[in-house]
Amino acid sequence: MSIEVQFSDQPPAGAVVLFDQSKGRYPLSSENKKIFSQSLASQRALRKAELYDLEKSEVFAFTDRRPGQLFIVHLGAGPLDFRSLGAKLGKKLLRLERETCALALPSKENHPLYKGFEGFLEGLLLGLYRYQEFKSPSEKPKKELRQLTLVGAKTKALQSALQRARILAESTCLARDLGNRPGNHFTPSDFKKACEQVAQETGMGFEALDEKAMKQEKMGCLLGVSQGSDEPAWLNILSYRCGDKKAPTLLWVGKGLTFDSGGISLKPAVKMEEMKFDMLGGGAVLGAMRAVALLKPEVNIIGIIPASENLPGPRANKPGDVLTACNGTTVEVINTDAEGRLILADALAYGVKRFQPEAVIDLATLTGACVVALGHYHTGLLSNDQALTRKLQAAADQSGDWVWELPTHEIYEKQIKGEVADLKNIGGPDGGTITAGLFLKHFIEKTPWAHLDIAGTGWNAERIDYYPPKGATGTGVRLLAELAMAWK
């Protein structure tokens, strides 16, 4: 996302965006009427403004025979979602292939835009996203937004909002890019390289345990999943240190299955190509670690991403096998397609023991049951700590990555109690999201913990304006970053 942003007193040639909340025959303030009539749209277009639904916030586009485009962001009477409005504008700019865009900022300091300006810019940048890595030059759009001009006074508040919005949007789009890459172009080793690159960019600490080191740590669950593939597994560890030795430490763990065939318990062929998305939890953790390294919250954060493939090779683990996690818990493999919880088990147990965090949060595209329960618009949340739950809910409301709490009653534990081992890796067809989460609870000791199932929100959540219509959404990046910035 390489967009130049500048401040100016006058709008340059090209697309111009006005913000308005006035009512009446022509829903434009006198200030905007002057800009409107002098720039790119005709009086005939102005008369079309009468068609506005004044109760609803919306982005309207007007065209003229002269080069350029005029957009009006109308702020309706209801609650204002500036992130969604920015994303709507971004998608219109994307579709119309505008190379430049000028935001004519309101002159009144009490204009509601300024309270939501960071969210609007964030949404605009998120709305401009499209994945083009494997398109040939002839198939790529000829034009895309290169320059954004903020027409108005250059203030510290606006500069701060712009910087924060860019960091959050770019970090989200990093997670989207990684999630959209095909499995043959994004292996566990490629995931390790991506972590190394982010660490070098931001100055974070980074290390990676190879399979030899994982064997020494007795990570039988993670290695059991990966042994069906020729690609080696990696346990990637990123560390952000705020400089305060007394600051608390948070642990984020993200599932990094770069491709999941289901293993011996093979998935159906239909839509199996979507299983390249099974690393979105790890991608979210990597994007969030990049964001916090640049935003610099006053908390220490460790990000762990177990990366592997799940394939039905000759050495693959089989239904009925028993694996032993690094904390000594034994697991009977009932279904090799319930592999995400296995690699997370070792990563969680290792991270909690080594780093002694104040709280631990894991993210994973863990269960299809979560899609059935919540669709593509809320992430499933399970937790053993209500204070942590409230913090996550507040961060979700702020970031727009919505969550919904699910029960963790001990009655569900009966479904995952093992017959020949301590646990089973699947609890049957009922309450699958809950039993999968409770499985992970066995690997965090007594640490405050939350599990975020992003199976539905991780991709193809097209009805949310600031998510792409198809592909990876980057959900979880801004949620975790907001949590870190607000942590006390």
> Rounded to whole angstroms, how far apart are CA atoms 210 and 42?
64
What pLDDT, on a 0 to 100 scale, did the predictor assign at position 19? 86
Among 355, 254, 248, 343, CA closest to 305: 254
**Distances in whole angstroms, Cα of residue 286 to Cα of each of 3, 112, 392, 476:** 22, 33, 18, 10
Distance of CA 14 to the CA centre of its chain: 32
> Rounded to whole angstroms, how far apart are CA atoms 65 and 85?
26
What pLDDT, on a 0 to 100 scale, did the predictor assign at position 40? 43
**What global pTM score does this model have?**
0.95
Among 355, 350, 329, CA closest to 213: 350
DSSP E strands, 241-310:
249-254, 256-260, 300-310
Strands 449-453 and 379-383: antiparallel
Tokens of 53: 């639904």
Question: Which residue positions in the chain have pLDDT lower than 70?
Answer: 1, 22-54, 63-68
> Rounded to whole angstroms, how far apart are CA atoms 238 and 120?
30
**Distances in whole angstroms, Cα of residue 211 to Cα of each of 59, 121, 157, 308, 330:** 52, 43, 48, 11, 20
What pLDDT, on a 0 to 100 scale, did the predictor assign at position 25? 46
Strands 300-310 and 234-240: antiparallel
What pLDDT, on a 0 to 100 scale, did the predictor assign at position 29? 62
For the chain, domains (ranges, CATH) are 4-150 (3.40.220.10), 170-486 (3.40.630.10)
Q: Match 């959404």 to its residue by tokens.
A: 473
Question: Over the Cα atoms of the chain, what is R_g?
Answer: 24
* Residue 307, beta-bridge partner list: 234, 256
Are the C-beta atoms of residues 69 and 104 closer than 8 Å to each other? no
Are the C-beta atoms of residues 356 and 439 closer than 8 Å to each other? no
> Rounded to whole angstroms, how far apart are CA atoms 88 and 105?
18
What pLDDT, on a 0 to 100 scale, did the predictor assign at position 368? 95
What pLDDT, on a 0 to 100 scale, did the predictor assign at position 48? 55
Residue-wise pLDDT for 370-383, tens only, equals: 999 999 999 999 99
2 C-beta neighbours (distance < 10 Å), count: 7
What pLDDT, on a 0 to 100 scale, did the predictor assign at position 18? 83
Residue-wise pLDDT for 359-370, tens only, equals: 999 999 999 999
Helix (H, G, I), strand (E, B) or coil at 124: helix
Are the C-beta atoms of residues 33 and 7 closer than 8 Å to each other? no
* Residue 310, beta-bridge partner list: 260
Are the C-beta atoms of residues 436 and 371 closer than 8 Å to each other? no
Instruction: Supply the residues annotated as catalytic.
Output: 267, 341
Helix (H, G, I), strand (E, B) or coil at 476: coil
What pLDDT, on a 0 to 100 scale, did the predictor assign at position 384? 98
